[in-house]
């Protein structure tokens, strides 16, 4: 069975500090991978997606970057956090690059920037 694991579960960081969030998918080769951001009480905003290793597409600019160093790993990072980065970050995967496929979500990372 496929599993998706996000780390850490929660982070409290200072403004201006760096950040790295991770996501690992096991049991599925070459998945499409996605990062979503959810402001407190807000909707989901797609940030990045990746179809293959080393290839990441940005959907919206939020002073964040993403990388896919391995087939099963997706990293979200920034060198300098802003207060506006606070929220809930969700990693997701889908089977293929067709948009009628359902998404499988991780449990998310709650980020508080102080």
**What six digits make up the tokens of 97?**
């690059």
For another protein, give the closer residue by CB, 80 or 107: 107
> Per rule CB under 8 A, is residue 13 in the interface with another protein?
no
From the list 12-20, 69-77, 78-86, 104-112, the region that binds another protein by CB under 8 A is 104-112
> Per rule CB under 8 A, is residue 98 in the interface with another protein?
yes
Member of 34, 81, 85, 87 binding another protein (CB under 8 A) = 34
Q: Which of 31, 7, 30 is nearest to 20 (CA)?
A: 7
Q: Which of 107, 96, 112 is nearest to 49 (CA)?
A: 96
Q: Which of 83, 90, 110, 108 is nearest to 17 (CA)?
A: 83
What's phi and psi for 85, nearest 5 deg?
A: -80, -10
Q: Specify the 3-state DSSP secondary structure of 97.
A: coil
> Per rule CB under 8 A, is residue 42 in the interface with another protein?
yes
The count of chain residues that interact with another protein, using the rule CB under 8 A, is: 21
User: Least distance to another protein from the beta carbon of 40, Å?
Assistant: 12
Kindly write out the interface string for residues 60-89 of this chain, putting x where it contacts another protein by CB under 8 A and - elsewhere. Answer: ------------------------------
Q: Which of 99, 5, 89 is nearest to 45 (CA)?
A: 89
């Amino acid at each position: 069975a496929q599993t998706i694991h996000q780390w850490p579960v929660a982070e409290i960081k200072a403004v201006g500090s760096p950040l790295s969030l991770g996501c690992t998918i096991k049991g599925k080769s070459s998945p499409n991978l996605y990062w979503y951001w959810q402001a407190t009480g807000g909707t989901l905003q797609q940030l990045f997606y990746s179809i293959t290793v080393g290839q990441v597409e940005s959907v919206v600019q939020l002073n964040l970057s993403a990388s896919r160093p391995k087939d099963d790993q997706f990293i979200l990072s920034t060198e300098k956090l802003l207060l506006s980065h606070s929220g809930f970050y969700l990693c997701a995967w889908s089977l293929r690059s067709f948009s009628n496929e359902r998404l499988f979500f991780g449990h998310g990372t709650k980020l508080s920037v102080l």
